[in-house]
Amino acid sequence: MAARPTTRFAPSPTGYLHLGHAHSALLAWRAAREAGGRFLLRIEDIDRTRCRPEFTGAIAEDLAWLGLDWDGPVRVQSAHFREYGAALDSLASRGLLYPCFCTRAEIAREVAAIGAAPHGPAHGPEGLLYPGTCRRLLPAERAARIAAGQPYALRLDMRAALAAVDGPLTYEEVGEGRLRCDPARFGDAVLARKDTPASYHLCVTHDDALQGVTLVTRGEDLRAATDLHRLLQALMNWPEPAYRHHPLLLGPDGRRLAKRDGARSLRELRAEGLDPSAVRAMAGV
Ligand code: GLU
């Protein structure tokens, strides 16, 4: 890991920040500040159906109230679709992507039709593994469907991608050493969605590379994604950061804090009269 790490907090503005976010942001901020490194704030708002501008403004405000400061301008992903498109073009030009026209229902039907494997249908970290239907389409069929205006996602041809990189991939997990990656468990992952011209996996790795992030600090829930992220970094010749996946903050019921479970937001805690140091203590950092 770099002696003066560049860390980042990269929330999606789908709601107000809660204590789980504060925990993650404070860990990243402290890792940078204690070592004289840099701390960046990035807004991951590519999903235009779930993200709202008022939450973007609230994120900066809540972090500043907590006492966090960040270096340089805030990167807002939705302003950079063209850059993500260029990365996709690079992968496509090497035959590593293919258009997928399937709907969720079609994928489920196809998986059922393939027949029940002894342990049921194959699942990856993101649910049912894609059975590869559109990978097998002939070029003329693909072209005809695109010309007819059928919406499509772009999927990574996992087998081709693994063949394009050297040897097994690993990453450095702070406190644990080098860990082996198994990106194949994602199957042919979606890198551009039908409704969004890029996916989380593509944008996050693109931006970590562009912004010189050397230490990715994020929740344990994203640990599996790192296997796929390392593959994208290898394919794109992007530098490899170190990772620190921190345990998720749990609520009193022992379950992870999330907006949908009514976790109180930082602004609710603030409205209840708590001061930043009390909230930082609650966030466990
Ligand atoms: N934007 C992602 C989220 O809010 C986090 C991305 C990351 O830290 O890699 O869950």
Residue 38: give its domain's CATH number. Answer: 3.40.50.620
Is residue 14 within 6 Å of ligand 1 at its C-beta?
Answer: no
Tell which of 169, 190, 205 closes a domain.
205
- 65: pLDDT strictly greater than 80: yes
Please tell me the number of Cα atoms within 13 Å of 191 on its side-chain side.
Answer: 28
pLDDT, position 119:
65
Please tell me the number of Cα atoms within 13 Å of 110 on its side-chain side.
Answer: 14
Tell which of 174, 205, 236 closes a domain.
205
Give the residue, out of 24, 44, 233, with the most ligand 1 atoms within 8 A of its beta carbon, to mutate for a pocket test: 44
Helices (H) and strands (E) in the chain, counts: 10, 12
Q: Is residue 38 part of a domain?
A: yes
The 8-class DSSP code of residue 136 comes to: G
Same domain? For 49 and 140 the reply is no
Same domain? For 149 and 164 the reply is yes
Q: Which residue range forms the structural domain that includes residue 171?
A: 81-205
Instruction: Provide CB contacts within 8 A for 35, sequence distance 6+.
Output: 3, 4, 5
- 73: pLDDT strictly greater than 60: yes
∠ CA 161-166-172, nearest 5°, is: 100
The H or E element containing residue 191 is: strand 190-192
Residue pair 65/266 in contact (Cβ under 8 Å)? The answer is: yes
Q: Is residue 216 part of a domain?
A: no
pLDDT, position 251:
73
Same domain? For 69 and 87 the reply is no
Q: Is residue 170 part of a domain?
A: yes
Catalytic residue flag (residue 194): no
Position 116 confidence tier, pLDDT thresholds 50, 70, 90: low
Helices 81-93, 200-210: crossing angle, 10 deg rounding: 100
Q: Is residue 177 part of a domain?
A: yes
**Closest-lying ligand 1 atom to the alpha carbon of residue 217:** 8
Give the 3-state secondary structure of residue 41: strand
Give me the number of domains the chain comprises.
2
Is residue 133 within 6 Å of ligand 1 at its C-beta?
Answer: no
Tell which of 170, 205, 240 closes a domain.
205
Same domain? For 59 and 20 the reply is yes
Q: Could you report the per-residue pLDDT of 180-217, keeping only the tens digit for each? A: 999 999 999 999 999 999 999 999 999 999 999 999 99
- 254: pLDDT strictly greater than 80: no
pLDDT, position 167:
83
Q: Is residue 210 part of a domain?
A: no
pLDDT, position 54:
94
pTM: predicted TM-score of the whole model, two decimal places:
0.94
